[in-house]
Amino acid sequence: MIFLSDIDVDSINTEFTPFSFSYGFDLSNLTESIKKVGLINPPILRMQKNEFIIVIGYKRILALKKLKLEKTKGFILSEDESPLECLLMSFYDNLSVRKLNEVEKAIFLSKLSSYIKSEEIVERYLPLIDLPKRKNIYEMYIWIESLSEKAKKLIASEAVSIKTIRLMYEKEIPLEEIDIYIDLMGKLSFSFNEQIQLVEYTNDICRKENIKLKGLLKKEEIKEIIKNPSLGKKDKAKRLMDILKKMNFPNLYLAEKTFKKMVDSCNLPDGVEIRVPFYFESGYRMEISFKNGKELRGKLKRLVENKELGKIKDPWKGE
């Protein structure tokens, strides 16, 4: 049973939100909309201990309070609606209008786990939020809910990729070290591939040298990069990855530098690149960018006539 009523905004609890899982959102557009045209869709609430608990409309209520509005229309659920029914009502309402971010998925699954067995959640609800029906995926998202607020904010905003978080989970990295990674990823600008490599490289180095992540990052050459005021976030990330690669794969690092010198000596035309596969595991690849056939023919002619190209070889081979 549900009925529409006038409600004091101050009587709505926004601290205790057992049915809400919105996270990492911006209220500015919603606030501006309510300011101009009012609240079009009233929230759905449930009375509990002389106050209203939000079932649907958490962000709308926050916007009303931000605007310091005193009254609102709201639908009141009867008290015989179970907590699980309220949670699912909120879930399907959100699902009908948007995709949940990764942290919202974690919060929802964590709350749902209080009412439903994990086997049913995996089978029935994971596909609804675009997750594979696997127990380890479910367990990882329950774990995500336990991460720090800073970590969750970067995950929700997609500044840190879910693949990177999954790697940390699978490697069983301690929470205190995850916070160090998150802090570093917030300060520097890593691509998603670099985020994964950062975790893999540092984890391998720490294991080989029997040190903690904090100790590794205190090494002087690494500290100098992170604190260098003349470098931008991307440059810092690139240089840090270069050092970590050198520490983790010294022979590979030397081979790549040697190969790069060989390629540089060829003075390739603009828009022509020679790419090296990781670990030099397969043949090299040349990429040519061109605007039209005439430009392509010109570049190919220059390449055919370039005698230095004949000197390119695996960097560890002699004459």
1-98 CATH pick, 3.40.50.1370, 3.90.1530.10, 3.40.50.300, 1.20.1250.20: 3.90.1530.10
Over 70: is that where the pLDDT of 144 sits? yes
Question: Max CA-CA distance within the chain?
Answer: 88
* Torsion from C-alpha of 19, 24, 25, 28, nearest 10 degrees: 130
Token pair in block for residue 37: 């045209």
The arithmetic mean of pLDDT across residues 263-292, rounded, is: 87
Rounded to two decimals, what is the model's pTM? 0.80
Burial of 54 (0-12, 13-18, 19+ CB in 10 A): buried
Residue 241 pLDDT: 93
Other C-beta atoms closer than 10 Å to the C-beta of 19 total 22
The arithmetic mean of pLDDT across residues 232-247, rounded, is: 92
Asked if residue 188 lies in contact with residue 59, where contact means CB atoms within 8 angstroms, the answer is: no
Over 80: is that where the pLDDT of 263 sits? yes
Asked if residue 186 lies in contact with residue 150, where contact means CB atoms within 8 angstroms, the answer is: yes
Token pair in block for residue 315: 């960097």
CA dist., res. 306 & res. 319, Å (int):
19
Domain boundaries defined on the chain? 1-98, 99-146, 158-248, 265-311
Residue 215 pLDDT: 94
Asked if residue 25 lies in contact with residue 157, where contact means CB atoms within 8 angstroms, the answer is: no
Residue 60 pLDDT: 94
Q: How confident is the model at residue 318 (pLDDT cuts 50, 70, 90)?
A: low
> What does the angle CA 236 – CA 237 – CA 241 come to, to the nearest 5 degrees?
115
CA dist., res. 319 & res. 315, Å (int):
10
- Greater confidence, 253 or 56? 56
The arithmetic mean of pLDDT across residues 14-40, rounded, is: 91
CA dist., res. 198 & res. 216, Å (int):
12
CA dist., res. 116 & res. 95, Å (int):
19
Percent of the chain with pLDDT over 90: 77
Sheet holding 51-56, edge to edge: 2-8, 71-77, 44-48, 51-56, 12-13
Over 70: is that where the pLDDT of 310 sits? yes
DSSP track, 135-160: HHHHHHHHHHTTS-HHHHHHHHTTSS
Residue 203 pLDDT: 94
Residue 5 pLDDT: 86
Q: Which residues have a Cβ under 8 Å from the Cβ of 41 and sit 6 or more positions away? A: 57, 60
